[in-house]
């Protein structure tokens, strides 16, 4: 399901299409004073806005594919850490060390509420969700690295299965860190495309919404409130993004 902002973008594009069609029907009678509101400028604005909207979708898809790969690497971690912790609790480590291992394991598994919330699913469109995702995955990897070092320092941590032995855990951590780095560039590209699109749509005065609303005011001024021309466009709605509280 599209987010509110995505639905708003699509609605505004459709509304500008409607205005362009109405102004085209008016022909030379539609003659606003501002260059940005003239028909050729509106057509160019619509094309640029559509391209910017498509770029966001493309960059988000590229990010989502990489994020899904990272998710696949991190997904088995909770059960793996639980198995490691069970093995460590069976070692001869001192009680305070076992407690420290459990604290880190709880952070990795999300039991400790002081850590960031679990990462959102890949493809979540809100920008804040991506920032939360980065922080969460970074913290998980960091805590997993600390957890491994506690296991490494205890000579009596001697698990029987290869996947919870130190070489396998080190390899997994290296993969996790690499995946976190891999996600960075497409995330930056997505955020850049999002910022560019939002500027094209919502910048004060020059953005699609303000220009389109201004063009309707020009029609209202030139033809009058009760005119057929204004009645043809007054119901075309444009929506601004809600400001974050």
What pLDDT, in 10s, does the model give residues 164-183? 999 999 999 999 999 999 99
Tokens coding 152: 């490494």
CA distance 92 to 102: 15
Q: Could you read off the pLDDT of 206-238 as tens digits, one per residue?
A: 999 999 999 999 999 999 999 999 999 999 999
| Range 4-19 average pLDDT | 89
Nearest CA to 229 out of 210, 216, 213, 214 is that of 216
Q: How confident is the model at residue 27 (pLDDT cuts 50, 70, 90)?
A: very high
Q: How confident is the model at residue 129 (pLDDT cuts 50, 70, 90)?
A: low
Contact 191, 130 (CB under 8 A): yes
Res. 4: pLDDT tops 70: no
pLDDT at site 241: 80
CA distance 160 to 198: 55
Res. 156: pLDDT tops 90: yes
In the chain, alpha helices (H): 4-26, 39-74, 77-89, 95-109, 127-152, 166-202, 208-223, 228-233
Domain boundaries, the chain: 4-117+126-233
Q: How confident is the model at residue 120 (pLDDT cuts 50, 70, 90)?
A: very low
Nearest CA to 24 out of 11, 44, 40, 8 is that of 40
pLDDT at site 116: 40
195 Cβ contact partners less than 8 Å away, ≥ 6 residues apart = none
Q: How confident is the model at residue 13 (pLDDT cuts 50, 70, 90)?
A: very high
Burial of 150-170, coded b for 16+ CB within 10 Å and e otherwise, reads bbeebeebebeeeebbeeebe
Instruction: Give me the residue label for tokens 């973008």.
Output: 9
pLDDT at site 242: 75
Q: Could you read off the pLDDT of 73-97 as tens digits, one per residue?
A: 999 999 999 999 999 999 999 999 9
Helix (H) or strand (E) holding 38: none
């Amino acid at each position: 399901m599209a987010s509110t902002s995505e639905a708003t973008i699509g609605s505004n594009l459709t509304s500008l299409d409607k205005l362009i069609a109405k102004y085209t029907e008016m022909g030379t009678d539609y003659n606003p004073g501002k260059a940005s509101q003239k028909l050729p400028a509106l057509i160019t604005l619509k094309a640029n806005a559509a391209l910017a909207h498509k770029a966001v979708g493309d960059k988000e898809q590229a990010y989502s594919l990489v994020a899904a790969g990272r998710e696949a690497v991190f997904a088995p971690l909770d059960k793996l850490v639980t198995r490691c912790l069970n093995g460590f609790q069976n070692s001869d480590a001192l009680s305070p060390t076992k407690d420290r291992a459990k604290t880190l394991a709880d952070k990795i598994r999300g039991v400790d509420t002081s850590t960031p919330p679990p990462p959102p699913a890949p493809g979540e469109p809100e920008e804040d969700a991506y920032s939360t995702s980065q922080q969460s995955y970074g913290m998980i990897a960091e805590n997993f690295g600390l957890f491994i070092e506690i296991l490494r320092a205890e000579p009596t941590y001697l698990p029987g299965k290869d996947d919870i032995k130190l070489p396998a855990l080190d390899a997994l951590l290296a993969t996790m860190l690499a995946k976190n780095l891999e996600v960075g560039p497409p995330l930056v590209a997505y955020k850049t495309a999002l910022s560019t699109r939002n500027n094209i749509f919502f910048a004060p005065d020059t953005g699609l919404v303000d220009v389109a609303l201004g063009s309707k005011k020009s029609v209202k001024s030139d033809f009058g409130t009760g005119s057929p021309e204004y009645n043809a466009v007054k119901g075309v709605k444009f929506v601004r993004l809600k400001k974050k509280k």
